[in-house]
């Protein structure tokens, strides 16, 4: 049975951007200026982000996916090399390895964290460690450090570990962020990589702009293309929005944590709901998502959507997609991921979500569960 939504009640999405007048003004200043792309707003954004996460360098990209591709290329990952990642993520976490011709492998998740089982990572050239839902992977538990460790922190800007902010690369070579509108901050579309390695930084900058290296000693016009690159540049318009949003990062992530705590309190007595893991002592959750687990997920999903609650499922495991199934991956190889996927349901979570909205989400959820 579906829970009908009154015609005068606005739907609640699972995520959305939070843009204020200061953000609008920052974008307008760029639009009225001289540079729309390849200008000073990009470097200002990169510097601000690097400072925010205590990294030496930052390179901004047109998307998080472009940044993942660039990270693989800068690390010189390629054919004959093996990249490991979590199967419970968006496909970009694995696609980036295939973009450079590397082999991809998955390690099943830890059911306690829904992150990759870091203790089981072995025999690989690179690891893409996905901080699922905003909960940081504990890289201290790596038994064998691959040559390259890349943090996929698309969900985790603003999160903390005992080693400091996610993005400081204390235990990784590079950390990748995404600025899609549902993420902690937004640039519309966009991404970035932080690193403490100057050589990697230089490779990343070349890769995002066709592999171009300018050589003014031979004339201001002169440049050479030293390696195969792409046009993965972010614009000054996007960077200006990102810099403005970054000023509110602490507030945004704080509100996400407060809402997550309230969900935990509102749903704590319902045995039908398995709540997501919380951050351990010494860490801070990014709470990009609030993924609960329920029985009969399809029925609950449809019922809540019909009632105007924009729940979502994160994610269809990567190995289930045809382009990975054809490589020989089977669901039976990943029992913990399968068990989690069967019940995962992301509830709405974003800074503009009100307590009344949250109460409505919970009411509709409880009603849907009771009608099962």
Whole-model pTM over 0.85: yes
Contact, 158 vs 286, CB < 8 A?
A: yes
**What is the per-residue pLDDT for 3?**
47
* Percent share of the chain, pLDDT over 90: 96
Query: What are the φ and ψ backbone dihedral angles of 302, each rounded to 5 degrees?
Result: -60, -40
Tokens of 232: 């993965």
Domains of the chain, CATH where assigned? 21-246 (3.40.640.10), 249-370 (3.90.1150.10)
The residues near 112 (Cβ < 8 Å, ≥ 6 apart) are 277
Q: Provide the pLDDT confidence category of residue 1 given band limits of 50, 70 and 90.
A: very low
Q: Provide the pLDDT confidence category of residue 371 given band limits of 50, 70 and 90.
A: confident
| 333 CB neighbour count, 10 Å cutoff | 13
Distances (CA, A) of 176 to 93, 110, 157: 10, 22, 9
**What is the per-residue pLDDT for 297?**
98
């Amino acid at each position: 049975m579906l829970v009908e939504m009154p015609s005068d009640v606005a739907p609640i999405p699972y995520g959305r951007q939070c843009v204020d007048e200061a953000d609008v003004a920052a974008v307008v200043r760029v639009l009225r200026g001289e540079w729309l792309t390849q200008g000073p707003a990009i470097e200002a954004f990169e510097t601000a982000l690097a400072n925010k996460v205590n990294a030496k360098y930052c390179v901004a990209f047109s998307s998080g996916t472009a940044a993942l591709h660039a990270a693989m290329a800068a690390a010189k990952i390629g054919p004959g090399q093996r990249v490991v990642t979590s199967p419970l993520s968006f496909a970009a976490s694995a696609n980036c390895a295939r973009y450079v011709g590397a082999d991809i492998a998955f390690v099943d998740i830890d059911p306690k964290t829904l992150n990759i089982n870091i203790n089981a990572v072995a025999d690989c050239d690179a690891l893409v460690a996905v901080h699922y839902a905003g909960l940081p992977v504990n890289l201290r538990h790596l038994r064998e450090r691959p040559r390259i460790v890349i943090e996929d922190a698309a969900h985790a800007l603003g999160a903390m570990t005992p080693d400091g902010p996610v993005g400081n690369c204390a235990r990784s070579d590079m950390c990748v962020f995404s600025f899609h509108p549902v993420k902690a901050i937004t640039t519309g579309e966009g991404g970035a990589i932080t690193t403490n390695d100057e050589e990697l930084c230089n490779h990343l900058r070349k890769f995002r702009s066709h592999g171009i290296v300018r050589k003014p000693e031979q004339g201001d016009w002169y440049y050479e293309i030293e390696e195969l690159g792409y046009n993965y540049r972010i614009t000054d318009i996007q960077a200006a929005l990102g810099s403005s949003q970054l000023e509110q990062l602490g507030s945004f992530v704080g509100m996400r944590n407060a809402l997550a705590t309230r969900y935990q309190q509102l749903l704590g007595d319902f045995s039908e709901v398995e709540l997501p893991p919380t951050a351990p002592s010494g860490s801070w959750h990014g709470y990009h998502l609030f993924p609960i687990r329920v029985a009969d997920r399809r029925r609950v999903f449809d019922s809540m959507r019909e009632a105007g609650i924009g729940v979502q499922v994160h994610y269809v495991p990567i190995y289930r997609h045809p382009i990975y199934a054809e490589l020989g991956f089977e669901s039976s190889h990943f029992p913990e991921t399968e068990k989690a996927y069967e019940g995962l349901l992301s509830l709405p979570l974003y800074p503009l979500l009100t307590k009344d909205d949250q109460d409505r989400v919970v009411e509709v959820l409880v009603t849907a569960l009771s009608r099962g």
